[in-house]
Structure formats: C-alpha cells, structure tokens
Amino acid sequence: MLVDSHCHLDYFTPLELPGVLSRAAAAGVAEMVTIGTTLAQSALLPPMTEAYPNLWCTIGVHPHHAAEAPIPTPETLAAMAAHPRVIGIGESGLDYFYDRSPRDIQADNFRAHIRGARVAGVPLCIHARDADDDIALILKEERDREGGFDFLLHCFSSTRRLAEAALEMGGYISFSGILTFPRSVEIREIARDVPLDRLLVETDAPYLAPVPFRGKRNEPAWVAHTAKVLAEVHDLTPEAIAALTTANFRKLFRKAAA
C-alpha cells in the first residue's frame, strides 16, 4: 500500500475525480492527502474528504497567495485544523523562484503557519523553492523560540544543505516525480542519504508527472513510479519502500493513524 502524501484533488473536476481515485486504488495507492493553498479553498476540502474515507486534507496559504488576504492567525489555522479530516497545516513556506508575494509577507505567513501547526498539534507541510537559507533560518528561529514542531519538506528539489538542516531538526522529506527525471542525479543522491524513517512519497498532482508520464497531467496512481525509483535508490523492493513510507506517514500524520 502506498500513500500519496501531497496532491491537489480539487484541481480535478467532480466528474474526473471518481476515475482518478479508481486508478489510484488499482495502482495500490490506498490513501491521499489533498492540500490547502488559500483559506477559502482550504475551507472546501474537509467536506470533500468526508465523502471518501481514504482521503485526508490540510489547510493553509501557499506563499504564492500570501499577499492576497490578511495573514491568518495561528489560532485561526488551528481552529480550521480541528476538523477530523484535517491532518496537517500547509502548504506554506517560501518561494523565491516566482516571488508572487513580497518576501517579508511570505515570511510572516510562514511563521504564522508554523505557530498554528504547533497550537494544533499537527505537522506543517512546507513549500521551499530557491529559498533554502531563509527556510532553514526561520525553522531554526521558530524552534528556538517555542520548541520543536513536526514538519515535512514536500516535493523536495532543494539543496543537500537544506535537507541536512531539516533532518537535524527532526523533519521529514517527501519526494515527487522530480526524483525520476533523468537530470535529477543530485536529488537522487540526497534521497539515498535520507534515513529510511524520514522518507515519504507524493505526486503533487496534477503537476510534475514522473517518468514515463512526464509532461502529462499527473495523478495519484503515478506515485508508484516515484516510489519505485526511491526503492532503487535505497536498494529496496517496491513493497518495502511502500511499507516504510506508509509507516512514516502514519507516524508523522498522527490523526491519519487514529
């Protein structure tokens, strides 16, 4: 059994979704987490997941949208995360590649999400792109400020420096279809060195379809292809990597294990 720990199922139409979920089940993907990107969109996810017992969700504001509305308070985020189908907060973080929100607002939004995750007692799903040093700095400052918290670097495509900093702070790392791309040699080398008890897999569907579907619209069924490459990197069987990434998912996302 595999878990797609990060996807965007609300990007599929209501007519498409049953087929997407059926293909995922046929591929051995038993559970999926659909991710919040704005507060308005996040509010729609719990009712959506209530209709499917194998779906979970997170709530949060993506850095692209951080300047579109007032930054939510930690208490607001924690209150939204009280719903039983909400197992995490995010995705939030920093994106200096597109810079669609001013960097200071991205940082304030990120810190609010860290504090909200701590209040709610759920992990934070982190988006990190071209902002490794500031991601690591904010994580360390918030950890020093009020203590540790659970977090996941999703869709990892950053530097070894950020991976090592995250692991040192107790974080988990999730790999997407980027892991399968021919030019992702350095990402595969980093994945090889991530401890087995800190690994997760995801699609980030409908984005970043893995080889052999690169360029197509991604969907949760294809997380099996990323898991296969991750298994090869660690010299494990696909069955073994499925078992350990699912166990790691349950350990990190404790509400999904209840």
The pTM assigned to this predicted structure is 0.97
Rounded Cα distance, 226 and 252, in Å? 20
Nearest to 117 by CA among 88, 138, 157, 147: 88
Distances (CA, A) of 125 to 20, 23, 104, 198, 233: 23, 25, 20, 14, 24
Domain that holds residue 178: 2-257
Q: What's the pLDDT score for residue 257?
A: 85
pLDDT of residue 116: 98
Sort strands 199-201 and 29-34 into parallel, antiparallel or unpaired.
Answer: unpaired
pLDDT along the chain (258 residues), means of 10: 97 96 97 98 97 96 97 98 98 97 98 97 98 98 94 98 98 98 98 98 98 97 98 98 98 92
| Identity of the residue numbered 6 | H
Instruction: Say what the pLDDT of residue 258 is.
Output: 67
Measure the CA–CA gap between 47 and 170, rounded to whole angstroms.
32
CA–CA distance from 88 to each of 56, 125, 156, 166 (Å)?
Answer: 9, 7, 18, 18
Q: Strands of 69-190 (E only): list them.
A: 86-95, 124-129, 151-153, 172-175
Q: How far apart are CA 191 and CA 185, in angstroms?
A: 10
Domain count, the chain: 1
Q: What's the pLDDT at 131? A: 98
User: Do the strands 124-129 and 29-34 form a parallel or antiparallel pair, or are they unpaired?
Assistant: unpaired
Stated as kind and residue range, the H or E segment containing 20 is: helix 17-26
Each residue's pLDDT tens digit, 96-144:
999 999 999 999 999 999 999 999 999 999 999 999 999 999 999 999 9
CA atoms within 13 A on the CB side of 113: 35
- The CATH number linked to 187 is 3.20.20.140
